[in-house]
Structure 1
């Protein structure tokens, strides 16, 4: 529950400290006094965006600080979920300047997202226009699911729905890819077959070009090799014969002059090398092939490869091999896409079956909770002067899955006997909506583990005996939780165990809002003013005392 609230330099508030009791607190004050400023400050504290316009004095820091007593509520796991230290007395602080804003939970700096996520566990702030949320199907589902305790099933359903939608999108994408791939498949297969037929391997192009030049110039090569052999082996004047003569001369010379021995050995080495060269030339000459048919075949193979190089706009056979490998991979992927489609369809079917099971569970629980809720609401509405009201919560199973299941929800309402049931938001007046919302909040109070709730003029559109009954219902709610009601009706204000009054004062230099905790006499005076406008009226005072008693 909210134990205390400190506000400094916010809107019309200069500096106030409020302490709240744990049961039922009512807040009153003249129109424009600043009752809504309290809600604004609490909203800022719990994550609403701030701007410098909210500062009373832009040169000073705005501070909003609240202490929550969580001793009766097991929120340790929630705090650990947000990676926060847990303490039964939780202190939340928000500091705002014209340039920046900071927030702390138990002295740990936090961002606004954590404040926003933590808010539903601490307090429910019912704003003046929230009664209109009864028209929203999301709120109608929320109420039923609270009573049905559907939270875990709904969370499981929504996680499964996310998986289902992801699989649907994947299947559609795979089918689109298959359509696109089918169009390219024949052409890719043709390109791959063309490359495969060329029997490409690394270095093949260079080998073919060398062999082509060998065959193309075979006769010239034979002539050059034959002439080279002849030059070396020609009698009397050939290279070998001349070197042999030099060797003989040096052999003779070294017998008398040993210093020429090295030259003689070098000549001997040249003679041996020359013999090897001749043998290799003769072998090469034997290997030279004059083969027009083979030349033509290699020429065609080279033309084919050069055509592929030009076609694929590359320069080497290594690049062609890479292209062939890529095409092969694409063809393989295409062959796998049917298998992936089949696998995805199987998973989608299994997920759909699980969704159907979960949605049936949700629907069954909601139908039971709808019957319970209808009875409880009618009972409370009867207390609030709507004895002839009728409510029917319709749940119809549909084909399509949505965020909350597979059923369509509609709240039908009639305020008067004999009138047909119609959609709640179309036939309920503002006052009827307020009473309906109070009835719902009162019912949920026994199902929700919520420390505090604040009503901001939920009594709009009611008065007299009905207002008194609304006050009694809120008082009854305060047995389960802390209830704070901002009200303009004395019948409700009188039911509070604690009564705060918002006062706006103006002097020559400034206007400011203060809040006072009223004692018994001050409460009588305030209620008298609210009843008749004259705090000294004997009848108003008597009426005020009777309300308090």
Structure 2
């Protein structure tokens, strides 16, 4: 239940605080006094957007604060889900700052507008003057049927499957497109993969081939140089070894005269042996270095292919070549796997389709079953509002494709006159008829939906005084189970209120201000009399007001 509303610095409201009671609350006042402004302020609490145009004083922030008693409405799960502190005395606050920024708070914790809308949707239903046009909206019509049928849990289940179904459908379409693109690219990919596999590159092999290529290209020179070196050391006439041995022989003659020479002679002898080993290694390397045109061709072909692949794919290293090879291989393998992935995705989608179809069928069955009951109740209410010949019918149309709410489309059909053909309400219902029909439907919905507070903004628009009286009686009855806040110009409806508020405007030399007061006793009678005849009210109007309030 909405306990109070505080508004400061909003439009022509400087400061305003209202305490609401249980039952039937009426707000009256002259046109332009600020009734619609009050509804706008309450809309901020419900999550509507706003800007600095609403500021009374552009240098100060606007604050709208609402207090609710929620102990009877089992909302703790909402607070847990949004990591908010739960309190049975709920406070929702909106602040609009001069810099155009907006802030929202739930029990003093920062909140989003989405959170406000979700929470207030369980606390308040607001019917504004032009909300009757919502009856022409098929989405609103369907929402009414589902609310009356208590389809909330089933719709939640349907929505969960529907979202998963769409995700899987998107995934399947992606796989199909990917396969189609792969088929286009397959021939080229296979050609590139064949080139890499033909190359048979292994780690470190590119540099090994390049090294081998240098040896093969210079084999003749290498063999010639090494053979000449070995021959010069060992076999030439005179050879280097023979010259060194002669020196060694001469040195050996003087070792007996000089002890240090003996050590030098050993080093010299070792040097000759190392030179012989070096000559032997030169000779071995020369023998191993053979001219091999066939191998040269093979290595040349490998390197040419490697360099071509590097140029073709813009690769700068062996590591990049391996990465590209793996990438192409993965794409080819992915093409091979795509058929099985598509099959799995189709099977999963088919299963979800069956589940979705099953829930949609149950929703459709409940809508078709409950529709006539709602029509009967609404018609009875219309008859009580002096529309004895009114007919109301709900047409539930089956659709081929899934929508966000199932496989149905809803049409509200209406006829106000005896023998009249049922047509869509947008084509036949007048403003007053729409107001009455809207009240009749909402009265029935309110019996099934646990909404603490219903707000009606001029729901009596377009109806006569006699009908307003009956509408007032219907709203009064509804206030037995719901808190009603009703903004009205109708004295007949106002006379049924448990608490009457008058909203008015005061002005000084600088500007106008919206004020609000609670009327009691004779004040209430006088206000209703003014609504009947004008200000000041006539004695006949005062008597009429007393009769209305007593009725």
The question of a shared fold, defined as TM-score above 0.5 by the shorter chain, is answered with yes
Q: Structure 1 residues 300 and 101 mapped into 2: Cα distance closer, same or farther (>3 Å)?
A: closer
Find the counterpart in structure 2 of residue 109 from structure 1. 110
Change (3 A) 1:16 1:325: closer
**Which moves more between the two structures, 284-293 or 520-529?**
284-293
Partner of 1:201, secondary structure, is coil
Separation in structure 1 between the aligned mates of residue 508 and residue 211 of structure 2, nearest angstrom = 108
Alignment correspondent of 1:493? 494
Query: Is 1:83 matched with 2:87?
Result: no
1:534 Cα deviation after fit: 5.7
Q: Deviations over 1:329-353 (max 9, x none)?
A: 1111111111111111111111111
Confirm or deny: 8 A CA contact 1:535 1:541 kept in the other structure: no
Q: Give unmatched runs, 5+ long, in structure 1.
A: none
* Distance in 1 between residues matched to 2:503 and 2:418, nearest whole Å: 42
For 1:43, the equivalent position in structure 2 comes to 43
Give TM-score scaled by structure 1 length.
0.94
Counterparts of residues 203-352 of structure 1 (less than 5 Å):
203-234=204-235, 237-314=238-315, 316-352=317-353
Cα drift, residue 101 of structure 1: 4.1
Change (3 A) 1:311 1:22: closer
Contact 1:201 1:317 in 2 (8 A): no
Deviations 1:31-57 (A, max 9, x none): 222221211221223333333332323
Q: 1:430 to 1:291 in 2, by over 3 A?
A: same
* Native 8 Å contact 1:526 1:535 kept in 2: no
Q: How many residues align?
A: 549
Structure 1 position 297, deviation (Å): 4.2
Find the counterpart in structure 2 of residue 431 from structure 1.
Answer: 432
* Partners of 1:175 and 1:132 in 2: CA distance: 44
- CA positional deviation for 1:209: 4.4
1:288 CA drift (Å) = 2.9
Write the deviation string for residues 188-234 of structure 1: whole angstroms up to 9, x where unpaired: 11121122223322343444444445444444444333322221113
Quote how far apart the aligned CAs of 1:67 are.
1.6
Q: Distance in 2 between matches of 1:67 and 1:335?
A: 64
Q: Aligned in 2, Cα 1:91/1:206: closer, same or farther, shift over 3 Å?
A: closer
Give SS of 2:72's match. coil
1:4 is aligned to 4
Residue in structure 2 matched with residue 395 of structure 1 by the alignment: 396
What residue number does 2:72 align with? 72
Cα distance 1:463–1:246, how it changes in 2: closer, same or farther (>3 A)? same
**Residue-by-residue CA offset, 1:453-480 (whole Å, 9 max, x unaligned):** 1100000011222111100111111111
- Preserved contact between residue 250 and residue 263 of structure 1 (Cα < 8 Å): no
The SS at the match of 2:15 is strand
Q: Sort the Cα spacing of 1:433 and 1:221 in 2 relative to 1 into closer, same or farther, 3 A.
A: same
Q: Shift of residue 356 of structure 1?
A: 0.1
Deviation at 1:266?
A: 1.7
What is the distance in 2 between the residues matched to 1:193 and 1:118? 63
Contact 2:233–2:276 (CA under 8 A) maintained in structure 1:
no
**C-alpha RMSD of the superposition:** 2.2
Q: Give distance in 2, aligned partners of 1:228 and 1:140.
A: 105
- Secondary structure of the corresponding residue to residue 129 of structure 2: coil
Query: Which residue pairs with 1:405 in the alignment?
Result: 406
Q: Distance in 1 between matches of 2:454 and 2:105?
A: 22
For each residue in 1:117-169, what CA deviation from the matched residue of structure 2 results, as whole angstroms up to 9, or x when unmatched? 32212211211111100111111111111121111111111121122122222
